[in-house]
């Protein structure tokens, strides 16, 4: 019995020794991390967006007169010149109206000639009456009657002249409407859309009801990509920024462009979940030619908003956040200007010896992989760059073991 007692004591002592040795071994080993040296790089900050391509200039041709379409002289894809006949509406009713007005004008002109003759007679009668009155042959009442007849003749003649002017104005309007049944191109371009067929009725628009859009003509010599950019990114975009545009129809080719318009009014959109997003329209004018252009093709754009040559940089995953209170008493962390214990501090962990020291830094632009370093680091500093779990769990002045040094190449 006594022998078993001593055996149990010996086993307990061995287990305790193993536990102490294991704990000390763990403390001495440190947290495995990956590192990367702070290195100068050429960086470009790129904003991605999607949208469609559109011609810079296009017009929708609508009907300015009502009527049945009797002939169409073009088809989609045709190149047209300004003034070229595109289609014809039935002119019968308008031609009839023009002919009626012309006949009416001839009638009122005849009335005007008759009124003029009566005016001349009334004028002669008045002159003769005044002469006879002066000789004592007629009374003043007869002179007054002749004067009244003359004034009536003058008014009748003026009315006839005004009637002629009215009919001529109506004729001018009717002739203009007659010209409108022959629809011509208002600009050089390509017919990109034809919405009607022969035999359909064209409807003229009013203030509240739009008219029939018969076809669309576009100038395809200048193409633009209209894309939507999130409100958090549009503030970085300026006129003149360079861009590359890729069309879904030609995924292997990209086209150069330049930002020519940044919208001031937001485009509100609602997601399936009900959250409302705010985007802004950005227009990119392409400087490269597209062989086969079809307005409305989907486009993806990459807009370069900033560039830096030989800028000190770190990997994006190296940047982390710690709270002020977690860094108190840690002299390597430059956090004196941040007084709030719960305030977040951006920084990185720099490996010095076998310790990871948190260092507050300021960053500038970002590329897809790297941040520009404005302050807090110098070239050659060894920064913890992985893994994500290690960066998230690291504490200031914690012992680390560098498992693998990354090359730092782009």
Q: Which residue has the tokens 């485009």?
A: 267
Spatial CB neighbours of 329, under 8 Å, sequence gap ≥ 6: none
Residues 86/259, Cβ–Cβ less than 8 Å = no
Going by C-alpha positions, the residue among 229, 318, 248, 242 that lies closest to residue 284 is: 242
HSE-up of residue 61 (Cα within 13 Å, Cβ side): 30
Spatial CB neighbours of 319, under 8 Å, sequence gap ≥ 6: 346, 347, 348, 361, 363, 371
pLDDT, residue 267, reads 87
**Mean pLDDT computed over 91-103:** 91
Name the token pair of 59: 């017009």
**Mean pLDDT computed over 56-74:** 89
Q: Which residue has the tokens 């007869």?
A: 142
pLDDT, residue 85, reads 94
Residues 48/301, Cβ–Cβ less than 8 Å = yes
- Taking only the tens place, the pLDDT of each residue in 295-311 is 899 999 999 999 999 99
Q: Is the pLDDT of residue 336 over 70?
A: no
Read off the pLDDT band of 23 (50, 70, 90).
very low
In 3-state terms, the chain is what percent helix, strand and coil (to 5)? 30, 40, 25
pLDDT, residue 207, reads 57
- Taking only the tens place, the pLDDT of each residue in 381-408 is 999 998 888 888 888 889 999 876 555 5
Q: What is the DSSP letter of 406?
A: -
How large is the angle between the packed helices 140-180 and 92-135, nearest 10 degrees?
170
Read off the pLDDT band of 20 (50, 70, 90).
very low
pLDDT, residue 21, reads 43
Query: Is the four-CA dihedral 180, 183, 189, 194 of positive or negative sign?
Result: positive
Mean pLDDT for the chain? Answer: 85
Q: Is 75 left (phi over 0), alpha (psi -120 to 50) or beta?
A: beta
The model's pTM: 0.68
Residues 59/325, Cβ–Cβ less than 8 Å = no
Work out the percent of the chain whose per-residue pLDDT is above 70: 84
- Taking only the tens place, the pLDDT of each residue in 196-253 is 899 888 877 665 666 778 999 999 989 999 999 999 999 999 999 999 999 998 889 9
Alpha-carbon gap, residue 221 to 213, rounded angstroms: 23
- Taking only the tens place, the pLDDT of each residue in 146-186 is 899 999 999 999 999 999 999 999 999 989 888 888 999 99
Going by C-alpha positions, the residue among 327, 368, 322, 326 that lies closest to residue 348 is: 322
């Amino acid at each position: 019995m006594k022998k078993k007692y001593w055996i149990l004591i010996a086993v307990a002592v061995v287990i305790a020794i193993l536990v102490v040795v294991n704990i000390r071994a763990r403390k001495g080993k440190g947290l495995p991390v990956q590192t990367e040296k702070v290195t100068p790089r050429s960086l470009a900050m790129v904003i991605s967006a999607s949208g469609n391509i559109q011609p810079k200039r296009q017009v929708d041709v609508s009907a300015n007169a009502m009527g049945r379409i009797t002939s169409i002289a073009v088809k989609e894809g045709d190149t047209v010149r300004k003034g070229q006949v595109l289609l014809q509406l039935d002119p019968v009713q308008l031609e009839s109206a023009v002919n009626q007005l012309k006949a009416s004008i001839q009638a009122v002109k005849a009335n005007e000639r008759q009124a003029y003759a009566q005016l001349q007679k009334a004028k002669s009668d008045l002159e003769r009456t005044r002469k006879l009155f002066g000789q004592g042959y007629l009374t003043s009442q007869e002179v007054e009657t002749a004067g009244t007849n003359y004034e009536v003749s003058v008014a009748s003649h003026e009315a006839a002249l005004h009637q002629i002017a009215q009919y001529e104005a109506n004729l001018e309007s009717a002739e203009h409407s007659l010209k409108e049944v022959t629809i011509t191109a208002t600009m050089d371009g390509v017919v990109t859309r034809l919405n009607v067929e022969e035999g359909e009725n064209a409807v003229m628009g009013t203030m509240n009801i739009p008219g029939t859009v018969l076809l669309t003509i576009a100038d395809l010599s200048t193409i633009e990509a209209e894309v939507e950019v999130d409100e958090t990114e549009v503030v970085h975009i300026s006129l003149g920024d360079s861009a590359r545009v890729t069309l879904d129809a030609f995924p292997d080719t990209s086209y150069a462009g330049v930002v020519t318009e940044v919208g001031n009014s937001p485009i509100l959109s609602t997601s399936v979940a009900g959250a409302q997003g705010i985007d802004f329209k950005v227009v990119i004018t392409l400087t490269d030619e597209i062989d086969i252009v079809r307005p409305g093709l989907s486009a993806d754009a990459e807009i370069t908003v900033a560039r830096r040559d030989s800028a000190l940089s770190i990997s994006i995953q190296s940047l982390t956040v710690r709270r002020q209170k977690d860094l108190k008493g840690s002299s390597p962390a430059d956090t004196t200007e941040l007084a709030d214990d719960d305030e977040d501090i951006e920084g990185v962990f720099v490996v010095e010896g076998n310790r990871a020291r948190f260092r507050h830094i300021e960053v500038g632009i970002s590329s897809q992989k790297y941040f520009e370093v404005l302050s807090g680091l110098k070239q050659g500093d060894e920064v913890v760059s992985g893994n994500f779990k290690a960066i998230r769990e690291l504490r200031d002045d914690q012992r680390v073991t560098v498992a693998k040094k990354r090359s730092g190449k782009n």
